[in-house]
Structure 1
């Protein structure tokens, strides 16, 4: 019975998070919302799409999609291609605006650059967004993988090194709420998905001050992270250092990166 209750809470919490409360909100602009649904459809299919495909993903009728796509093409947020509509470069302008206007990112970049020079491995900054951690700065190592270069990528809070470092600074009831609402599927064979094991990992972080993840998000990767806190001690993000298991034994990597990433994160506690 308890597990069923938790499942119901997970479903209802996820619905509350994903579904805008528009019924009595007179300020909510439904037409604008439909435009963003069209843009968000491309997260499901990162390629040019036909109007029919966009309509199927967005839940908007085809004639409505046609008008919205035409408008977004005129504004530069979509490109019209032979295969259909594709995301336009003007979206990058808005991403640039966000990155340059965020004070956390402004203050973090020199700290991350110094950490990158010291550890000679990939260094990232992610921001806490409930069920996910959102990468906003990525400084590369000598290894190249496509997704490791991209800002804007999201990874689950429950299994990432940065996510568990953030969870270690939250109250137990908030941690449990996040875990119950998370889609705890395995990203790799080594992803920890059982709640009791995740809670044990979080307790380890509360003792050490940093979080370790071995092949939980990416096969062959070991990552250490520490939470970035605001002036009130509330976690707002995390600094990660990631290395290759082909070059590092986990214990050696932790011994090298753990104290450095903790010091870097502590240096940002001013927001």
Structure 2
């Protein structure tokens, strides 16, 4: 029987991540445990008890208790108002704000995204590339949106989303295959692509067209297009995407109407390669 996923965020959290750096003399295991405790909330759907934090973070209860106590004192965690457990604290939003205001690419993107939203009058998003997932950093919703479609920090799979396919179109085929192999291929709808062959069909089409076009991947009614954002070396670091309703658009009309605008916006936000690198790319 086919199992469909909901739209909860795709977590980057790995409780064993710190083990990869155990031979690094400068690496602090205590910091890794603290990050693990903070990251325990990525997959949570309600406040977490101390035992749940310890289990999710992969640390023993005694260590979790000390870390949680310290984070409470520092405002990084807080108690649920109904005393059902722990939640991320207000200072986490301070850090999110710092990332959004200090990232040079996002600084360039803000006015571009505002103008794109004004012209297309559909949902406009900017996502950042994080291996098997893309993470929304800027979101400008349309009139009718589900809650998850408005939250900065929400993450979705790379392999089956318009922004993700746009990013994959700039990667070598073997890197695309590696990302698909390591992805959770449980579908969101009965139309969600599930194989490397299906992914590559969209990747090749995106390379030829200049932007991706996907329908009914995360939501049954949705059509989305995306174009990649590049760093100064030409590598993909994110994507700009626009989403609309299949009740109002066909895939072809949506692509024809907004594809060039999305491509231009992504090119404007992308870093310009230095002359030497640019020459090498052209050659």
Q: How high is the TM-score relative to the length of structure 2?
A: 0.86
Task: Give the CA RMSD over aligned residues.
Answer: 1.7
Pairwise CA distance, 1:270:
2.3
SS at the partner of 1:95? helix
What is the rounded CA distance, in whole Å, between the counterparts of 1:236 and 1:62 in structure 2?
38
* Deviations, residues 47-91 of structure 1 (Å, cap 9, x unaligned): 221111112222211121111111000000111231121111110
Pairwise CA distance, 1:269:
2.7
**Is 2:54 aligned against 1:58?**
no
SS at the partner of 1:135? strand
What is the rounded CA distance, in whole Å, between the counterparts of 2:113 and 2:97 in structure 1?
19
**Is 2:128 aligned against 1:117?**
no
Query: Which residue is equivalent to 1:83?
Result: 84
Alignment: residue pair count: 257
* Deviations, residues 89-146 of structure 1 (Å, cap 9, x unaligned): 1100000011111011000111111110000001111111111111100011111320
What is the rounded CA distance, in whole Å, between the counterparts of 2:167 and 2:43 in structure 1?
27
SS at the partner of 2:269? coil
The structure-2 alpha-carbon separation of the partners of 1:37 and 1:18, relative to structure 1 and needing over 3 Å to count, comes to closer
Query: Which residue is equivalent to 1:107?
Result: 108
SS at the partner of 1:226? strand
What is the rounded CA distance, in whole Å, between the counterparts of 2:35 and 2:146 in structure 1?
29
More displaced 10-residue stretch of structure 1: 44-53 or 232-241: 44-53
SS at the partner of 1:257? helix
Query: Which residue is equivalent to 2:24?
Result: 25
What is the rounded CA distance, in whole Å, between the counterparts of 2:109 and 2:193 in structure 1?
29
Query: Which residue is equivalent to 1:39?
Result: 38
Gaps of 5+ in 2: 1-13, 273-283
Alignment of 1:180-195 (within 5 A): 180-195=181-196
The structure-2 alpha-carbon separation of the partners of 1:165 and 1:20, relative to structure 1 and needing over 3 Å to count, comes to farther
**Is 2:248 aligned against 1:254?**
no
* Deviations, residues 145-201 of structure 1 (Å, cap 9, x unaligned): 201110111111111111111111111222222122222221221110111111111
What is the rounded CA distance, in whole Å, between the counterparts of 1:84 and 1:203 in structure 2?
48
Task: Assess if the C-alpha contact under 8 Å between 2:47 and 2:87 holds in 1.
Answer: yes
Alignment of 1:1-271 (within 5 A): 18=17, 20-81=19-80, 82-270=83-271
Query: Which residue is equivalent to 1:12?
Result: none
Q: How high is the TM-score relative to the length of structure 1?
A: 0.90
What is the rounded CA distance, in whole Å, between the counterparts of 1:175 and 1:109 in structure 2?
29
Query: Which residue is equivalent to 1:3?
Result: none
SS at the partner of 1:66? helix
Gaps of 5+ in 1: 1-14
What is the rounded CA distance, in whole Å, between the counterparts of 1:180 and 1:150 in structure 2?
28
Task: Assess if the C-alpha contact under 8 Å between 2:18 and 2:32 holds in 1.
Answer: no
